[in-house]
C-alpha cells in the first residue's frame, strides 16, 4: 500500500513509537499492540490531515464523525479481550473502518454496522484495500444491533449512549462482554458482562465520544 504523498509518517518505526506510547499509557495486551502496529491509521483519514494520523487524538472523518484516538481504540479492544480470545464480535459505529480493521486482526468473525451510508461505503473500500475480507457490514441503527449475526462474544460501541441499549445486551452470548461509552454529560466506558444469572455492569474510564443517534441516513 503506497503512502499518502509527503506525509513521511507511514513507516514501521512510526507505528512502533505509537505502540511504545500505548504501553506507557497502560495498554499491556500484546495481541492488541501487535494489531495496532500492523494497521496503517494514515490510510483511514483524509489526505489533508494524514500527517496527523499518528497523533494520539481523534480526527474528523466527515459527516460529523471522528476516528477515535489510538489510545481509545487500544483501550476498548483490550477491555473486549480482557477475559481471553473471542471468536465473534459486533462493532456498533463503523466510521472509517479503523477499529474494525484492528478487530479483524484479532477476531475470526467481525460484524460492523453504521447508520451513515457514505461512511460505511468508505469503510468497505478501506478494508478491501487492506485485503481484509472477513468483516460483514450492515447499514443500520446502532441501537438495534445486528441480531441475525448474534449471539456475540463481544460487542464494542464507538458512540456514546444515554443508556445501554437492551438490544445490544440481548445479543451478547453468555460469557460475552459489551464495551460501551455511556452518558450525556460526563461519559464513562462501561463493561457489561452477561452471565448465566444476568448482567454485570462495571464503570471504567472517562471518555468523550460522538452520540449514538437513532435512524439511518
Per-residue pLDDT of the chain (217 residues; tens, 9 = 90+): 344 433 445 567 788 899 999 999 999 999 999 999 999 999 999 889 988 999 999 999 999 899 999 999 999 999 999 988 899 999 999 999 999 999 999 999 999 999 999 999 999 999 999 999 999 999 999 999 999 999 999 999 999 999 999 999 999 999 999 999 999 889 999 999 999 999 999 999 899 898 889 989 8
With contact defined as beta carbons under 8 Å apart, do 27 and 75 qualify?
yes
What are the Cα distances from residue 22, in Å, to 29, 51, 67, 142?
10, 19, 17, 28
CA atoms within 13 A on the CB side of 142: 29
Q: What is the DSSP string of 52-103?
A: GTTSSS-EEEETTEEEPPHHHHHHHHHHHTTTS--SEEEEE--TTSHHHHHH
The fold for domain 58-207 equals Rossmann fold (3.40.50)
The residues annotated as belonging to the active site are 68
Q: What's the whole-model pTM score?
A: 0.91
Amino acid at each position: 500500500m503506497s503512502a499518502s504523498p509527503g506525509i513521511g509518517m507511514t513507516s514501521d518505526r512510526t507505528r512502533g513509537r505509537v505502540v511504545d506510547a500505548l504501553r506507557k499509557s497502560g495498554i499491556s495486551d500484546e495481541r492488541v499492540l501487535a494489531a495496532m502496529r500492523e494497521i496503517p491509521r494514515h490510510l483511514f483519514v483524509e489526505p489533508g490531515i494524514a500527517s496527523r494520523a499518528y497523533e494520539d487524538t481523534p480526527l474528523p472523518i466527515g459527516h460529523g464523525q471522528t476516528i477515535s484516538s489510538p489510545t481509545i481504540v487500544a483501550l476498548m479492544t483490550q477491555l473486549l479481550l480482557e477475559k481471553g480470545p473471542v471468536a465473534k464480535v459486533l462493532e456498533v459505529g463503523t466510521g472509517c473502518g479503523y477499529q474494525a480493521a484492528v478487530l479483524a486482526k484479532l477476531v475470526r468473525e467481525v460484524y460492523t454496522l453504521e447508520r451513515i451510508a457514505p461512511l460505511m461505503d468508505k469503510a468497505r473500500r478501506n478494508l478491501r484495500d487492506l485485503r481484509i475480507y472477513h468483516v460483514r457490514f450492515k447499514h443500520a441503527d446502532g441501537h438495534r444491533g445486528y441480531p441475525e449475526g448474534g449471539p456475540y462474544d463481544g460487542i464494542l460501541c464507538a458512540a456514546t449512549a444515554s443508556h445501554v441499549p437492551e438490544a445490544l445486551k440481548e445479543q451478547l452470548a453468555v460469557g460475552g462482554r459489551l464495551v460501551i461509552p455511556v452518558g450525556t454529560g460526563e461519559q464513562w466506558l462501561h463493561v457489561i458482562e452477561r452471565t448465566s444469572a444476568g448482567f454485570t455492569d462495571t464503570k471504567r474510564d472517562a471518555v468523550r465520544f460522538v452520540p449514538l443517534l437513532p435512524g439511518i441516513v
